[in-house]
Amino acid sequence: MERNKYELQRGVLARKYTTILQGFEEAKDDRRIAWNCYQQIIAACEAMRDSGMDNNFICCAVNKSIREQESEIDEIITRFTGKVYKGVRWLDVREELKCDRFTCGYVDCVISMMVSKGAARRFLREQLYDMRNELTKEHYLSMYEYIDKATGQGGGDGTEDDYSS
């Protein structure tokens, strides 16, 4: 039994976003955009599944649009919830801290998901600043430096003023 690629993709996206987007459809900010993008992706998958389209140019264009919208949804979810999708689940930075670590893997995952490295840097540094009292001073400073290095932006001494930019 052969299953259509877009039917499979629709199922994967539904599992990825269904629980995390609950409540986003009634929001009045970027969360509403995430919900609408999700609905558009699902509709596109259903339309492509039912169309029997075999034209590679059209399939490539649809796939590119789906990837771009999925990236935008992920960035909005990360901004509002602090969660990052890695592998098959949403990671929460607070879960990462159960082992008293703000990990380099988490930083790399956030940077790869967000379109703007500057936005990723601000988001990560704000989270790190919020957790400053929960971490050892050495770990806090090393992660602060790692974020700067990973985003290709330096500067700042780790003070609160650094996080308002």
Whether the model pTM is above 0.85: no
3-state SS, residue 85: strand
**Beta-carbon count within 10 A of 125 CB:** 21
Q: Give the residue ranges of DSSP H helices in 18-102.
A: 30-51, 56-81, 93-96
* pLDDT reading at 69 higher than 90: yes
Give φ, ψ of 10 to 5 degrees.
-60, -45
* pLDDT reading at 164 higher than 50: no
Distance CA(109)–CA(2), nearest Å, equals 33
pLDDT, one tens digit per residue, over 120-146 is 888 888 888 887 777 788 888 888 898
Task: Yes or no: say if 19 and 61 are a contact pair by the CB < 8 Å rule.
Answer: no
Burial per residue of 38-70, b for 16 or more beta-carbon CB atoms within 10 angstroms, e otherwise: beebbebbeebbeeeeeeeeeeeebeeebeebb
Q: What is the pLDDT of residue 159?
A: 45
**Beta-carbon count within 10 A of 120 CB:** 23
Task: Compute the average pLDDT of residues 107-120.
Answer: 81
